[in-house]
Structure 1
């Protein structure tokens, strides 16, 4: 059974495991403190989900904002990377303490998990994270996840907790993701514009859907605008995970959304296996491949990527790395595990398999990216 409607997020049969993401603007007040009464109302909903038999994982923003308030840093603590790291180091303790205390009031045990982009991009670490989630949830614990901003740099950070929530959902094999934010869903234009209409359901994030989103966080406190939420929806939908954007501002926001019929539901287009979901969810790459139109059609028909169809190789990558594959117009059409390093791939691009042995000095592999290790986007 799969999620088909918004109320299905409250069904243990259709959503046995749920990820709830909470943004900084909802969690932290103007004075830099945790909005405890609001958070208690959310935790009441978490407790209700646990009582229904659902596992719940929280992805919580707020550490930098909390730390900035405690350090007396103006501007939210994000003016420089070192400032954000210092604020996060202070704020993570306060954030974890708030979650642990308020969950314990409901008889729930909290666990803190601080992750970076690299933790979820590197396969063995990803599997370790998945195993940790499995054990914690099996013990009835509520994991509270945040990006480890104390050590994350511009090169190894998500930059927003929306995509972190989607990747967390993949790692813990969740059925659904709820993004609580300060708007009640996706609109066909900026919600402040006359005639703006909320989209109650989206089946597949397209370029047209992306054009509806602005790129900024409305509050100025967080980092994830609607664009980030659509990117998260894309990551989720490739793994067969439903995602909903809900208005988190009222008390008991999830129940309130169910009552009013608000929010936007993103339904998955397919259900990739665990390994394919990991490949499709990769966000950082050491290089890229560009292919011709004939190769694009072959990939869409389920074929492997052959060197003859490659027109460009960029970056410095090794065999076993995950690379994006681009069409001639620059569109990313697939991601896959490459069978060659960058030097060999550059040497054989555009060459038939008959010519590759003379170039490489050894028998070539059957393909550059095998179809079993390739995910279409």
Structure 2
């Protein structure tokens, strides 16, 4: 089905709904009345399709239980401990709220690595599919009790988009503390809500404002736009709506108030996964000629590489940057970082002498590359 307006989300066969900490928790306590109305919204959406919830809130809830200052974010150790305690409370909240509507909630904790590694990604996909088939609502959260600052999503907006990819969802709904994306800081006079976005451009990215971040969670408008880029590559619609009201989904869809990012070209599932990965192991910089060739669908050859950063092995994810440091794309590299450094700028005929073996067809093959 085509999703061209917010109200079309009612017909989504599989929908991911992301709920942030600031909406679910107020001063360390759950917003029980608000959650009850959201659960009713979810029950209504399940009349026409399946629903997955991506929910923050474990750290905030656990910090209250443990008496930690700064909402449990005073240190990494505090956050991990608070998350361990808070996940129990978070699971109970969702189980009780959805149970009122005879819906079974299933807790699913994931790490960045679970969705970055192809095999673990497919395992997560299979688990989500089986839970939905069994009639449950998976409640997904990043496993903050083991995540570190270096190896984590950092926000549940992008996690929601990645979960939507893994689940083969039609749409993602991000509940925010503003009505959607504004063309400038929403606190400015004359700021206008952008109702529909047909492809994220640099101009759209420039509209992101820190004003939409409450400080309790880790997201903001920039994270939501990054999530939308992940979703649109996979042919998934994404909506930002105001979640601060009671019955937030019903209100937004009835009033057509929010921002809908239309799905773009539906990439293969492998390329969608590759484009959504968030943690490159290194960077390959290229010259202007190579940048033009890549734009025309060519593979990345050693002759066009000008610099190598980071340490990586064959098959690792690397980012590809242009002459001015602009991000061009990312892909799976065919050489180690040491080998890449050895053949910088060399044509195929020169590479064998440097490597000691017949070179591969490309440094990054076009079939294992996505553009941004």
Contact map agreement 1:244 1:263 (CA 8 A) in 2 = yes
Q: Find the counterpart in structure 1 of residue 24 from structure 2.
A: 27
TM-score with structure 2 setting the length: 0.97
RMSD over aligned Cα atoms: 1.2
2:227 aligned to which of 216, 229, 232: 232
- Partner of residue 156 from structure 1, selected from 151, 159, 179: 151
Query: Quick one: distance in 2 between partners of 1:352 and 1:310?
Result: 10
- C-alpha displacement of 1:350: 0.9
TM-score norm. by structure 1 comes to 0.96
Structure 1 distance, partners of 2:291, 2:264, is 20
Q: Deviations over 1:150-178 (max 9, x none)?
A: 01001111111111111111111111000
* Aligned counterpart, 1:45: 41
Q: Is 2:368 the partner of 1:373? A: yes
1:343 and 1:352 mapped to 2: Cα distance?
17
Q: Does 1:61 align with 2:41?
A: no
1:10 aligns with 2:10: yes
Residues 216 and 285 (structure 1), Cα distance of their counterparts in 2 relative to 1, 3 Å cut = farther
Match of 2:95 in 1: 100
* Cα distance in 2 for residues equivalent to 1:206 and 1:140: 38
What's the secondary structure of 1:297's corresponding residue? helix
The answer on whether the counterparts of 2:5 and 2:256 sit within 8 Å (CA) in structure 1 is no
**Number of the residue aligned with 2:270:** 275
| 1:336 maps to 2:331 | yes
- Paired residues in the alignment total 372
- Distance between the aligned counterparts of 2:26 and 2:111, measured in 1? 26
Aligned partners of 2:155, 2:76: CA distance in 1, in Å?
14
Which residue of 1 is the match for residue 78 of structure 2?
Answer: 83
CA drift of 1:181 comes to 1.1
Partner of 1:345: 340
Cα separation, 2, equivalents of 1:201 and 1:162? 18
Contact preservation (8 Å) 1:216, 1:223: no
Report if aligned partners of 1:116, 1:157 keep a CA contact under 8 Å in 2: yes
Runs of 5+ in structure 2 lacking a partner? none
Q: Show structure 1 runs of 5+ residues with no match.
A: none
> Hey, what does 1:310 align to over in structure 2?
305
Q: Mapping of 1:175-214 within 5 angstroms? A: 175-214=170-209
Post-superposition shift, 1:216?
5.9
Q: Please say if residues 63 and 92 of structure 1, whose CA atoms lie closer than 8 Å, have aligned partners that are also in contact.
A: yes
Q: Spell out the pairing of 1:117-156 with structure 2 (5 A cutoff).
A: 117-156=112-151
Matched, 1:218 2:213: yes
Q: Distance in 1 between matches of 2:240 and 2:142?
A: 20
Please tell me whether the aligned partners of residues 300 and 366 of structure 2 are also in contact (alpha carbons under 8 angstroms): yes
- Please report how far the alpha carbon of residue 217 of structure 1 lies from its aligned counterpart in structure 2 after TM superposition: 5.4
In structure 1, the residue corresponding to 2:46 is in which secondary structure? Answer: helix
Distance (whole Å) between structure 2 residues aligned to residue 82 and residue 216 of structure 1: 28
Tell me the SS of whatever aligns to 2:222.
helix
- 2:176, 2:212 within 8 Å by CA — same for their partners in 1? no
